[in-house]
Amino acid sequence: MQTPLPSSSGTKPEMKEHCSHRADCLKLIQLILDGEATEQQLARAKANLESCKPCIQMYQLEKEVKELLTKRIEKRCCPEQLVATIKTRILSFS
Amino acid sequence: MATIPEVMSDTPTSDRNRIGGPTEPDQFLPDSDSAEQPEANAPARGYSEEQKYQIFNKEFMPHIDSMYNFAFRLTMDEDDANDLVQDTYLKAFRFISSFEQGTNAKAWLFRILKNSFINDYRKKSKEPAKVDYQDVETTYNSEDAESEHTVDLRAESVSDLIGDEVATALNSLPVDFRTVIILCDIEGFTYEEMAKILDIPIGTVRSRLHRARNLLKEKLRDYASSMGYKEENDE
Ligand SMILES: [Zn+2]
């Protein structure tokens, strides 16, 4: 989801500094980032993410952590030798 | 005997890469306990020898890098990862008649690998033995304990972490928590697929993932703050 994140200069007066249900918001944010949120949940979160500062920060953090995991952790490839061994052993099955 | 749990109906699901279609029975997958006794609803498919090799090469082998990566992240050891992947693929071939051609081979293979890991490797791994599903679930599962828990951390403070640091943080998590993060964030499985791979309800996938991420953020926070401390000292 692309959430328009407010620029620091354009802080609107109705921006909430406090979130009274952080834990629930966090769960919702994770559903969204995992692509598992329903339309309703998306709509609800969208409203939050435009007006609630803690929610925006949580969203940024969750997104960052997910990206660290997706993009920065090295992906180990299967050694060629193992591929060859498996193929050979399969052939001897029948 | 491990049966595949019903998917919880209140959960948003996605139809991409379903493990089994909505109308067909779930496929039997080999577990160590039930491996020799296919379930009644597991349709055994009469593949010819040629078809078996074709399925193996075209549907199973393309996932071998993901499988190896999963095995390595679980065992944190190259030799163990080798053995685990090899065992899994041999099992997959042996039980190929319980795999329906054209369905989600990746999830099917991951489930076999995860079961092999639990049955064969976990016991001998250096993992602290106390940490098992039951303990973890009861310790962390009380909704009260977690409901107010959010980790105080800013996105900017983790954005400079390098892959090795993130991997170390991930590796330090108990294996059940590590597993859900690997499946979701590294392999991109849906909650529904994860539920089937792990034999747990979707609600448990969701809450375990939530807790896993809180633990991970705590580790990352420790990392980030120790780095900040070092930088200050260096200058
Ligand atoms: Zn909020």
Contacts of A83 in chain B (CB under 8 A): 61, 64
Distance from chain centroid for Cα B186: 10
Minimal CA separation from A52 to chain B, in Å:
15
Mean pLDDT in residue range B11-32: 41
Of the candidate CATH numbers 3.40.50.2300, 1.10.1740.10, 1.10.150.310, 3.40.50.720, the domain formed by B49-121 belongs to 1.10.1740.10
Q: Of B52, B47, B184, which is closest to residue B107 (Cα–Cα)?
A: B184
Distance from chain centroid for Cα B140: 19
Q: Of B138, B116, B132, which is closest to residue B197 (Cα–Cα)?
A: B116
What is chain B written as a DSSP string?
---PPPPPTTS----TT-SS-SSSPPPP---TTTTTS--TT-PPP---HHHHHHHIIIIIGGGHHHHHHHHHHHH--HHHHHHHHHHHHHHHHHTGGGSPTTS-HHHHHHHHHHHHIIIIITTTSSS-TT--HHHHHHHH--HHHHHT------HHHHTT--HHHHHHHHHTS-HHHHHHHIIIIIT---HHHHHHHHTS-HHHHHHHHHHHHHHHHHHHHHHHHHHHHHHHHH-
Contacts of A70 in chain B (CB under 8 A): 185-186
Examine the pLDDT at B27 and tell me if it is beyond 70: no
Examine the pLDDT at B40 and tell me if it is beyond 90: no
Q: What pLDDT score does B135 carry?
A: 47
Examine the pLDDT at B8 and tell me if it is beyond 50: no
Q: What pLDDT score does B161 carry?
A: 87
Measured CA to CA, the distance from residue B122 to residue B112 in angstroms comes to: 14
Examine the pLDDT at A13 and tell me if it is beyond 60: no
Please indicate whether residue B67 or residue A21 has the higher confidence score (pLDDT): B67
Please name the residue of chain A whose CA is at the shortest distance from the CA of residue B182: A69
Contacts of A26 in chain B (CB under 8 A): 150, 210
Note the pLDDT tens digit of each residue in B130-175.
Answer: 444 544 455 454 444 444 567 888 888 888 888 889 999 999 999 9
Min mean pLDDT across A35-44, A56-65, B11-20 is at B11-20
Put simply, whether A72 touches B (Cβ < 8 Å) is: yes
Instruction: Indicate the residue of A30, A57, A86 with minimum beta-carbon distance to B213.
Output: A30
Q: Of B150, B27, B158, B142, which is closest to residue B96 (Cα–Cα)?
A: B27
When pLDDT is cut at 50, 70 and 90, the band that residue B42 belongs to is: low
When pLDDT is cut at 50, 70 and 90, the band that residue B20 belongs to is: very low
Q: What pLDDT score does A5 carry?
A: 54
Task: Kindly provide the ipTM of the predicted complex, given to two decimals.
Answer: 0.83
Find which of B154, B166, B187, B219 to mutate to test the A interface (most A CBs within 10 Å of its CB). Answer: B166
Note the pLDDT tens digit of each residue in B116-140.
Answer: 999 887 766 555 544 445 444 554 5
Minimal CA separation from A76 to chain B, in Å:
5
Domain boundaries, chain A: 22-93
Torsion sign across C-alpha atoms B217, B223, B227, B233? positive
| Percentage above 70 pLDDT, chain B | 66
Examine the pLDDT at B60 and tell me if it is beyond 70: yes
Examine the pLDDT at A1 and tell me if it is beyond 50: no
Q: What pLDDT score does B36 carry?
A: 37
**Contact (CB<8Å) A23/B147:** yes
**Contact (CB<8Å) B206/A37:** no
Examine the pLDDT at B13 and tell me if it is beyond 70: no
Please name the residue of chain B whose CA is at the shortest distance from the CA of residue A94: B49
When pLDDT is cut at 50, 70 and 90, the band that residue B39 belongs to is: very low
Torsion sign across C-alpha atoms B148, A44, A33, B23? positive
Minimal CA separation from B66 to chain A, in Å:
7
Is pTM beyond 0.80 here?
Answer: no
Min mean pLDDT across A10-14, A69-73, B6-10, B78-82 is at B6-10
Would you say domain B133-226 falls under CATH 2.60.40.1510? Answer: no
Domain boundaries, chain B: 49-121, 133-226
In whole numbers, what is the pLDDT of chain A averaged over residues?
86
Mean pLDDT in residue range B31-52: 61
Min mean pLDDT across A20-24, A62-66, B54-58, B194-198 is at A20-24
Note the pLDDT tens digit of each residue in B91-115.
Answer: 999 999 999 998 999 999 999 999 9
